[in-house]
């Protein structure tokens, strides 16, 4: 068993987290992650209302008696969702771990902390990690450039970003972006992290609530099969490379505003693809780690395999490299 500050802080068996993923972070996946001894996060905004989130938390509790958390991502918007109401639903449900991400989470972090909720804040830069630590976050999820979704604008890969963050912050760090197996877990620990966060790898599991066609597309893809959208809008997003993403990129690179590609990249269209299994229907997030994914196992098998591989690397391969004096 690998024990770190992360496992001790959140009361889980293994130093592995399943971060909040829009449309994917539901009770079916999160409970499986929790039952496997890792820390899963429901995605608050996947639920259409705070009341629906309350019901989803209850459904997850019906599937596991192990710890799990909720992700609350705050994004700038003309018509934002009722973040404060989602936050209150999380608190009233007695959730003890929250993953925050996005734009100016200060008031939410403060409210969670006031109610004894432990907060992991997702960051893409050392300066953001330092800010989150000052804000009162209990841990940092640091996202390298390899990650799916939003990698920030600095383009710093995990091999540099993880130790650079570890040099500056004192709270536990969870490494995110490019992790799929025990080799990655050992590397993250060596770089100064206390565990790993996986998104794309958990999408390719039996319990992930997405169509088999999308899971098979992940298996068929390699580490080159992603695209970066919204670069000129300073809101970079890494998605699976498909015809829709390439069309959107071409329009963006021609200098047109976001409104010109909105019909291609809207979330509802992407969700339709996840449900129908058509990987060409809309955009969907996936990381470079696709190149390390070769099967669709049950979550419990995946987690136990990662931990066993990591333990073997630490005890056998690395240990054998140290020569006695």
pLDDT of residue 325: 61
34 within some domain: yes
187 within some domain: yes
76 within some domain: yes
pLDDT of residue 122: 97
* Number of domain units in the chain: 1
Range of the domain at 199: 5-209
72 three-state secondary structure:
strand
Give the mean pLDDT per block of 10 residues along the chain (325 residues). Answer: 97 96 97 98 97 98 98 88 97 98 92 98 97 97 97 97 98 98 98 98 98 98 98 96 98 96 95 96 97 98 98 92 76
pTM (2 decimals)? 0.96
21 within some domain: yes
Neighbours of 163 (CB within 10 A): 16
Q: Concatenate the DSSP letters of all residues of 205-236 into one string.
A: STTSSS-HHHHHHHHH--TT-EEEE-TTTT--
312 three-state secondary structure:
helix
228 within some domain: no
264 within some domain: no
SS3 labels along 264-292: HHCHHHHHHHHHHCCCCCCCCECCHHHHH
- The CATH number of residue 203's host domain is 3.20.20.70
88 within some domain: yes
């Amino acid at each position: 068993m690998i024990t770190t500050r992360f496992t001790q802080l959140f009361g889980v068996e293994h130093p592995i987290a399943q971060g909040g993923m829009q449309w994917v972070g539901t009770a079916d996946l999160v409970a499986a992650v929790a039952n496997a001894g890792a820390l899963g996060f429901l995605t608050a905004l996947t639920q259409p209302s705070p009341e629906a989130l309350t019901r989803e938390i209850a459904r997850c509790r019906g599937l596991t008696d192990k710890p799990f958390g909720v992700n609350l991502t705050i994004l700038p918007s003309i018509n934002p969702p009722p973040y404060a109401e989602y936050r209150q639903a999380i608190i009233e449900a007695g959730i003890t771990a929250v993953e925050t991400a996005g734009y100016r989470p200060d008031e939410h972090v403060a409210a969670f902390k006031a109610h004894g909720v432990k907060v992991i804040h997702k960051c893409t830069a050392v300066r953001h990690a330092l800010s989150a630590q000052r804000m009162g976050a209990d841990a940092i999820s640091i996202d390298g450039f390899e990650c799916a979704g939003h990698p920030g604008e600095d383009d710093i890969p995990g091999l540099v970003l993880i130790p650079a963050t570890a040099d500056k912050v004192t709270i536990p760090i969870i490494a995110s972006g490019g992790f799929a197996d025990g080799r990655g877990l050992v590397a993250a620990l060596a770089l100064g992290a206390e565990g790993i966060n996986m998104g794309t790898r958990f999408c390719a599991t039996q319990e992930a609530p997405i169509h088999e066609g999308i899971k098979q597309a992940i298996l068929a893809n390699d580490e080159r099969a992603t695209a970066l959208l919204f670069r000129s809008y300073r809101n970079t997003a890494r998605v699976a490379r498909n015809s829709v993403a390439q069309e959107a990129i071409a329009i963006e690179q021609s200098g047109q505003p976001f409104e010109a590609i909105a019909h291609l990249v809207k979330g509802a269209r992407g969700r339709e693809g996840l449900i129908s299994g058509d990987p060409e229907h809309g955009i969907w997030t996936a990381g470079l780690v696709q190149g390390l994914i070769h099967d669709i196992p049950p979550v419990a098998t995946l987690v136990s395999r990662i931990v066993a591989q990591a333990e073997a690397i630490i005890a056998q391969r690395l240990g054998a490299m140290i020569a006695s004096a």
